[in-house]
Structure 1
């Protein structure tokens, strides 16, 4: 066998192994219940209670229901008591599990002592850090952000500080028991640089990296820590986009994302969102960063808002609430 023949065989073997590994990784996405099966009592074996932030609607509410359906009592935290009370009643009526309400506005600085008191001595097996805000309905350049100084403080408090402080409160109990799961909700926009969502996307990159490093630190302690990065889910934050192949309902997304809990320290949470993430990462930066792309994105969102919201008496588009509390 001459050198050229040996080289060709070696290259062929390397390519075959490379694509074989890629095929296996792709099968993880297609068949999570085969690769990462969860025992029937998986969640209740970690603790009696689950804590979900931003649980009054959307993704957070769906996580609270999903964990209650899997046998856990839930602590639901958000800023609107009336909405939380309604969710707690629904959980109790439909699942028979307990639902404890804690009212807290995570855009504020001084809420964590109260939360820690409310959770004291509870056997918490799962934490879902879901709460978050996006500061502008229509994406815009950083300096064009409404009430910029206030927006910076509120977004960092809600999207970054709340995540870290909730882990600080709950993680020690998990470490002491040698079991637990922390699910941190990131966003698909963290997978690539997305101009006009500068503050929001950067905060979600923090969620991803913080989760990844924290998992490396505490995996040997028996703790599962995972960042979940959805793209479009039909919630208030996305202006209730019509569900479809790429836009999932909160219940659909949560139920699929939980199937990937053992798949690693980050996941898109569904097959369709994994595909979107793969495609987004292959768009050249010069296209994403172009003025044309930014203008088209702004126009698309403006048109979508005008279609989903009826005009007021002055024929102006009614904008969403300035700070949309993430689900």
Structure 2
């Protein structure tokens, strides 16, 4: 065999091995691992308390309920005190655990984090769920977003700043104990084309990237960091009222996502969303222009239906 032939064969071999390993790793993290090991995960090993931001509705509320069901005491952090107290009472009575509430508005300034520090003092927080977030009223072009400047500021405060600030508060005690779990709710829009959701998808890309690199830094200290990138979930924020195969209700989604904690550093959390991710990224590789056009047209259709129903009024583009 000639030198060139040997090099070509070796390159094909290396690429084949990488491909096979990559496919197996993907299948294990997203399907085999959750199926085999997901139900045996011991969440109480991380600590006595779990803190969930954005905990009164949707995915956040269901993370709080699911972790309480697994025996953890729950700290609920959200904006409206009355809703916090209602959810806290519901969880305490249903699962016989302790609960605590912290009412802060994550679109406010940095002073809210002083209040959070004060309220959690002395509590062994083993799990942090960075769930709080805000989205668009309906998909739209950047310059057509109503009250755009304020929306940008609020979304960055809520979707971006909250994540490193909450980690800054809670991560030190996890490192001291050499154990902890940080789950951050990103979005599938962070890694696939998401025109007409530009600011939102960019904030979720930050959430995903921050989680990836935080895991790299603190995995050696016993801290598990997971990024969850869901597709559509039936919640108040998405305005999807009925669950379906591709848009499950929040309780079904969270139970599925918790099965992936021990096997996947990042996941959509829900197997049909994994399939959607694979198809989308495959199309992005083969036909990027087609996928971009299809995505934008889909978002425009959602926008136009909302306008037609009188649910949304864009501003004139500048």
TM-score, reference length from structure 1: 0.86
Which runs of structure 2 are paired with 1:12-161 in the superposition (5 Å)? 17-18=17-18, 20-28=20-28, 29-34=30-35, 36-37=37-38, 39=40, 42-109=42-109, 110-134=111-135, 136-161=136-161
Aligned length: 308
Structure 1 residues 95-137: Cα deviation after superposition (integer angstroms, max 9, x where no partner)? 0111111101101113111111001121000000000011x32
Q: Contact 1:232 / 1:238 at 8 angstroms: preserved in 2? A: yes
Deviation at 1:38, TM superposition (A): 6.1
**1:317 paired residue among 299, 310, 316:** 310
CA separation of 1:7 and 1:212: change in aligned 2, threshold 3 A: closer
Q: Say if 1:159 and 1:12 are closer, same or farther in 2 by CA, change over 3 A.
A: closer
Q: CA deviation at 1:262?
A: 2.1
Distance apart, 1:35 and its partner CA: 5.5
* Residue range with higher mean Cα deviation, 91-100 or 233-242: 233-242
Distance in 2, matches of 1:203 and 1:6, equals 47
- Rounded to whole Å, the distance in 1 between the matches of 2:9 and 2:82 is 68
Segment of structure 1 superposing worse, 294-303 or 161-170: 294-303
Give, in angstroms, the shift of residue 17 of structure 1.
3.6
- Which shows bigger deviation, 218-227 or 140-149? 140-149
Q: Tell me how far 1:43 sits from its aligned partner.
A: 1.4
User: What is the Cα deviation at residue 193 of structure 1?
Assistant: 3.3
CA shift digits 1:257-296 (9 cap, x unpaired) = 1111122431111211111111222333323444x75244
Gaps of 5+ in 2: 314-318
8 Å contact 1:48–1:123 — kept in the other structure? yes
Alpha-carbon deviations, 1:169-198, whole Å to 9, x = none? 000000001000000000000012321111
Distance, in Å, in 2 between the alignment partners of 1:236 and 1:34 is 29
Task: Classify 1:165/1:4 alpha carbon distance in 2 versus 1 (closer, same or farther; 3 Å).
Answer: closer
Counterpart Cα distance in 2 of 1:12 and 1:156:
45
- 1:190–1:204 CA contact under 8 A, matched in 2: yes
Q: Which runs of 5+ in 1 are unaligned?
A: 307-314, 321-327
More helix by share: 2
Q: Distance in 2 between matches of 1:2 and 1:103?
A: 72
For residues 108 and 98 of structure 1, the distance between their equivalents in structure 2, rounded to whole angstroms, comes to 28
Match of 1:324 in 2: none
Alignment of 1:276-295 (within 5 A): 276-281=276-281, 282-283=283-284, 284-290=287-293, 293-295=295-297
Q: What is the aligned-residue RMSD (CA, Å)? A: 2.6
TM-score by length of 2: 0.88
Which residue of structure 2 lines up, in the alignment, with residue 248 of structure 1? Answer: 248
Structure 2: distance between partners of 1:253 and 1:54: 16
- In structure 2, C-alpha distance between the alignment counterparts of 1:272 and 1:301, rounded to whole Å: 25
